[in-house]
Structure 1
Amino acid sequence: MTIPGMLREAVRDHGARLAVVDGDVRLRYRDLAGLVERAARAYLALGTRPGDRVAIWMPNRYEFIVAMLGAQSMGAVVVPMNTRYRGHEAAQILARSRSSVLVTSNGFLGLDLVGMLRAAAAEPGGQQTAGPVPGLPHLSALVNVPAGPEPAGTLPWEAFLARAEELPAAAARAAADRVSPDDVCDILFTSGTTGRPKGVMSAHRQTVDVARIWARGAGLTPEDRYAVVNPFFHGFGYKAGVITSFTAGAAVHPVPVFDADRLLELIERERITVMPGTPTLFVSLLDHPRLKEHDLSSLRFATAGAATVPETLFSRMREELGFDQVAQAYGLTECMMVSRSRPDEDPRHVAETTGPAVDGVELRLVSVIDGADAPPGEDGEILVRGRNVMLGYFEDEEATRAVIDPAGWLHTGDVGRLDEHGCLKITDRLKDMFTVGGFNVYPAEVENVLAAHPDVSEAAVVARPDPRMGSVATAYVVARPGAMADADALIAHCRARLAGFKTPREVVFVEVLPRNASGKILKTELRVRASHG
């Protein structure tokens, strides 16, 4: 029930099978294990110690897997970071986690990730320190997997791996043997409703267990070829993708950027069998003008989740994309797997519910009015308890107590109902959070960025429906008196400081924001306005 133990089992049972296929790179399980051990030795040579945080800020590629498993195998805690982050967001996560190593891929999508990070960390008010990123005193090493020009002050990937020669292999093996199932394995940061990053901690046993539950539900076998389009920095790509595949001996095919043409070619060329994703992904494939030109007959299983699901999507996935089985799932970073569709479920029922609770999870739905258990068919807040509920938020006991009650129930903030089969249907959110193309957007974070602009008095952000992304952000802004506020300028201000999916698509100027008697902004009213244009 540890990452290094899982990898040892995979090598023992599937050593000669393909583990990762990334372009021309084809790694068998024994090859992958060798690279992971080199990376673990390299981390130790850099001075990384068990419990230290190692951040990874790069797209889906085989080096991400090696960097992640290498860190976890020597006892470090992995902190995956969203590749759509801008410098301020990345600096905040690195500072909050006090990561000692950052592995990145500068030049991804033409972005100077290192330059953005250094500029943000060096802004006035920051603590100027020595190291690869002045202003981040805990960061002692910045490893770069080239995707463009090599920035000064970084350690190239190959030079990083070469550091392994400074220590014997026995040092890495001894470190792996000391990793305990209850050691923290990863911290996945989520901005939360306050806009301040909160790090969700999971133990090794939880990360491996979630993956095994997912693999069983998908019927994953060593014969499967799994195209992981979901980002490795997200639990959907990392735990339900990479780790799940390795528990079953399947082959991982990383997809760094969604491109419908290339993905269709990959499915046909590599005979992909498993490909979960967001509804946006499948809608894009279904609407592709050359869909019928590709042989997709190898596809057998998909899960679509993380956003609003069009009513006909699952039927179309079976009939037009050729999947044998489709499923819907519900989870959140704090409990990665809560429910999932039953095997061989009717696509119409799949579209309506996320299935029953998975192994090891208890579900309660309670009235938001009096806290009493909600009967089947009636809405209630979703409460979750079980072995894979997070350990807590990193160094934030107050926030942890706010969501996990003394009886161990995680209060998700989501509203749903159970049908007569015990299957869960998500109906609403108590929180303001919404998803854009499968990525969570927390309005407080966007509102804080808007409020920092000198022309803005206050702002409220809500979702409006979007046919491709499910929903996008709309900002309602009250300008400061006398300011010459400009919508395009505010959008550019956000784009420079936030990931693209968080940036408002539209800024609407209003004289006042609607409020109730207690002064709270009526976001329900704003959502109605946004949905009607």
Structure 2
Amino acid sequence: MISEDADWKFTTIQNLCARAAEVYGTRMAVEDGGVTLNFVELDAMRRRVAKAMVAAGVQKGDRIMIWAPNTWQWFATALGLVTAGAVLIPASTRFKGIEIAELVKRSGTSMLFSAGTFLGTYYPDQLKAETRDTLRQVVVIGDTRNGDQNWDSFVAAGDGVSDAELAEREASVGPDDLCDMLFTSGTTGYPKGVMYGHQQCLKAIDAWATRVGIREHDRILVIPPFFHAFGYRSGAIVSMMRGAVLMPHLTYDAGEILKRVSEEKISVIPGPPAIFQGMLQHPELAKFDTSSLRLGVTGGAVVPSILIRRMREELGFAGVVNGYGLTECGGYGTMCLATDSDDVIANTAGKAAPGVEVRIMDDHRNFLPDGQPGEVVIRGYIVMKGYFNDPEATARTIDAEGWLHTGDVGYFDADGNLRIEDRLKDMYITGGFNCYPAEIERMLSTHPAIGIVAVIGVPDERLGEVGKAYVVLRPGTSATEKEIIDWSRANMANYKCPRSVEIRPSLPTSPQGKVLKNLLREEVPQDA
């Protein structure tokens, strides 16, 4: 197991990959369909991709985007670009061309690695001409069309770069340099780039892996997308760190997951509750052999205690863990232990990792005693380095004492476990994906018939919460609820799309004209 000791310290992601090759050698590192890589081969591929980056003119600090589903090439590309000193910008495969255009602009991305044909769409075709013009290169992971460059030829173009030149570039990348920027929206509705460094990333993953109990030889099925901290850090990187086998999964289908568990002897599955609920709801669950399952890692939504029990009893998980985290802390915060009771795992988010402080604060920034609810604040090495090119938003989020204000309301119970009660922000979570009403409202407002729109999260049995949009049409226009939903699906990521639309002549507002969402929420049955 790779962890910090007297002889070796976490420094950079590329040093971890090289160390994994030394420690784990020819043990299996990645299984992805018909492709297998051991740890030595994975490190060699990392170096080869890094050389291709250098050959392509990538400089230290360049931002490079990956817009593709979970594959071994995604991970190899990420390892190669950080080795060359670039900063990874993961982009959701659910994003449409207009969303990618905005993300490229806001991040200053200079190169894009795109999926080829995925879910019936050739991804590069979604790119605007002006977006392509701002990019040095578009490289396609998968099949190519229209003369686009494919991933294999890109990698091969770096074979002329010498080991010495690569070593010089690697030596320029230090523990405090940025490794990635994950973009997250806030109450403004505009995405903000969370800057994260190599060493803090590795330390956070190590602490998390120790808490939840990831082991050598585990076979980890990574269903959460790599563009999400859960998939990339708590799936791909942790596998490399702990000597586990990374097994990327493309799209969620309960039957396909159960088939892979049965045939490929999966032992660990990280993911939101919806993944496990789908497996349990499968009509032929009893036909699949799930005896290899050891650990289920969930979070990102309310986890009913009955789900924890069913995961143990019907899916056969020996351990189930739940936690709380946010992108601004690398995806981490607090975590339960697998040995905790079902009640603790279902109803609390556990405790903070060593070296991380979590407290509860009132509106006047006074700390509150256990049992009293207030805003959850976090301080320690897991806190981001700030928002990219946005010092004002950074200062609003991280105070002068270093406390990151999460915008979530919670309290500590008598056993010292964190319990999340509510959100100060309007954010809701759909199937493990954060949804920000301000962002969705901003997009819906571009619809030619929408005059006023308010979006709230409403309960959903399968996904936890889904969006509901309340709309007032512009005078002289017309649109049906179905037309608005169809338009949403064509213009934004699926998880952001409202699942229901209610068209009204007016919405309740304050004297200042702000829509009173609390009144809209009160109308929604909580047992829906």
Amino acid aligned to 1:359: P
Cα deviation for residue 372 of structure 1 reads: 2.5
1:145 maps to what in 2? 141
Aligned twin of 1:17: 27
Q: How does 1:318-337 map to 2 (within 5 A)?
A: 318-335=312-329, 336-337=331-332
Write the deviation string for residues 495-526 of structure 1: whole angstroms up to 9, x where unpaired.
22210110111111112211234433211221
> What is the SS of the residue equivalent to 1:243?
helix
Map Cα deviations across residues 259-283 of structure 1 (whole Å, 9 max, x no partner). 1122112112221111111100000
Distance 2:94 2:504 in 1: 30
Q: Counterpart of 2:509 in 1: which secondary structure?
A: coil
* Deviation, structure 1 residue 311: 3.1
Amino acid at match of 1:321: L
The CA RMSD over aligned residues, in Å, is 1.4
Structure 1 position 448, deviation (Å): 0.9
Counterpart secondary structure, 1:511:
coil
Decide which of 243, 248, 257 is 1:249's aligned counterpart: 243
Shift of 1:452: 1.3
What SS does structure 1 have at the residue aligned with 2:488?
A: helix
Q: Please, which of 498, 509, 520 is the counterpart of residue 492 of structure 2?
A: 498
Q: Deviations over 1:163-204 (max 9, x none)?
A: 112311332232222210000000000122212110001000
Count of aligned positions:
516
- Tell me if structure 2 keeps the 8 A contact 1:210–1:240: no
Structure 1 stretches of 4+ with a deviation exceeding 4 A read none
Q: Within 1, Cα distance between the matches of 2:125 and 2:188?
A: 28
Number of the residue aligned with 1:125: none
Alignment-derived partner of residue 429 in structure 1: 423
Return the offset for 1:157.
0.9
Q: Does 1:2 align with 2:12?
A: yes
Distance in 2 of aligned mates of 1:92 and 1:39: 27
Amino acid at match of 2:241: T
Unaligned runs of 5+ in 1: 123-127
| 2:458 match | 464
Which position in structure 2 is the counterpart of 1:282?
276
1:466 positional shift: 0.9
CA distance in 2, matches of 1:153, 1:206: 40
Give 1:485 deviation, angstroms.
Answer: 2.5
Distance in structure 1 (CA, Å) of the matches to 2:265 and 2:287: 15
2:170 to 172, 176, 188: 176
The equivalent of 1:67 in structure 2 is: 77
Q: 1:177-326 residue pairs with structure 2 within 5 A?
A: 177-326=171-320
Q: Give the TM-score normalised by structure 2.
A: 0.95
Give a deviation string over 1:350-371, Cα, whole Å, max 9, x none: 1010101112210111124x33
Secondary structure at the residue paired with 1:323? Answer: coil
Q: How many angstroms apart in 2 are the aligned matches of 1:66 and 1:531?
A: 47
> Which residue is 2:5 aligned to?
none
What corresponds to 2:8 in structure 1? none
Q: Which whole-Å CA distance do the structure 2 matches of 1:508 and 1:221 have between them?
A: 49
1:78 aligned partner, one-letter code? L
Equivalence for 1:57: 67
Task: Give CA deviations for 1:295-331 in whole Å, capped at 9, x if unaligned.
Answer: 1111111111111222311111111111111111100
Determine if contact 1:446/1:494 at 8 Å carries over to the other structure: no
**Identity, % of aligned positions:** 42
The counterpart of 1:362, out of the listed 325, 332, 357, is: 357
Letter of the structure 2 residue corresponding to residue 395 of structure 1: N
Can you give the 5+ residue segments of structure 2 that lack an aligned partner in the other structure?
1-10
- Residue 4 of structure 2 corresponds to none
SS in 2 for 1:165: coil
**2:516 is equivalent to residue 525 of structure 1:** no
Match of 2:399, as an amino acid? D
Query: Which residue of structure 2 lines up, in the alignment, with residue 115 of structure 1?
Result: 125
- TM score, norm. by length of structure 1: 0.94
How far did 1:219 drift?
Answer: 2.0
Distance in 1 of aligned mates of 2:168 and 2:178: 18
SS of residue paired to 2:119 = helix
Q: Note if 1:453 corresponds to 2:463.
A: no
Displacement after TM superposition at 1:153 (Å): 4.5
Q: Could you tell me which of 507, 510, 520 is aligned with 1:513?
A: 507
The 8 Å contact of residues 356 and 381 in structure 2, kept in 1 or not, is answered as yes
Q: State whether residues 215 and 245 of structure 1, in contact with CA within 8 Å, keep that contact through their aligned partners in structure 2.
A: no
User: Offset at 1:211?
Assistant: 1.3
Q: Rate the CA distance shift 1:516–1:374 in 2: closer, same or farther, 3 A.
A: farther
468, 473, 476: which one aligns with 2:470: 476
Of 46-55 and 449-458, more deviation after overlay is shown by 449-458
Q: Which residue is 1:26 aligned to?
A: 36
Shift of 1:337: 1.4
Please give the secondary structure, in 1, of the residue aligned with 2:455: strand
Residues of 2 paired with 1:455 and 1:343: CA distance? 51
Partners of 2:305 and 2:342 within 8 A in 1: no
Structure 1 residue matching 2:269: 3-state secondary structure: coil
The separation in 1 between residues aligned to 2:202 and 2:123, in whole angstroms, is 31
* Equivalence for 2:50: 40
The 3-state SS of whatever aligns with 1:85 is coil
Could you give the per-residue CA deviations for residues 18-63 of structure 1, whole angstroms, max 9, x where no partner exists? 1100011110000111111110000111100111011001111100
Note if contact 1:417-1:425 (Cα within 8 Å) is conserved in structure 2: yes
TM-superposed CA distance for 1:374, in Å, is: 2.2
Residue correspondence of structure 1 range 87-98 to structure 2 within 5 A? 87-98=97-108
The secondary structure found in structure 2 opposite 1:47 is coil
Give the drift of 1:154.
2.2
Contact 1:337 1:358 in 2 (8 A): no
Bigger shift: residues 227-236 or 343-352: 343-352
Q: Which residue identity lines up with residue 457 of structure 1 in the other structure?
A: G
Give me the whole-angstrom Cα distance separating, in 2, the residues matched to 1:152 and 1:15.
Answer: 40
Cα distance in 2 for residues equivalent to 1:57 and 1:102: 7
Counterpart of 1:440 (choices 424, 431, 434) is 434
Equivalent positions of 1:340-379 (< 5 A) are 340-368=335-363, 370-379=364-373
Contact 2:188 2:438 in 1 (8 A): yes
The secondary structure found in structure 2 opposite 1:472 is strand
Secondary structure of the structure 2 residue equivalent to 1:230: coil
C-alpha distance in 1, partners of 2:127/2:488?
16
Distance 2:145 2:400 in 1: 49
Residue from 417, 434, 437 that aligns with 2:411: 417
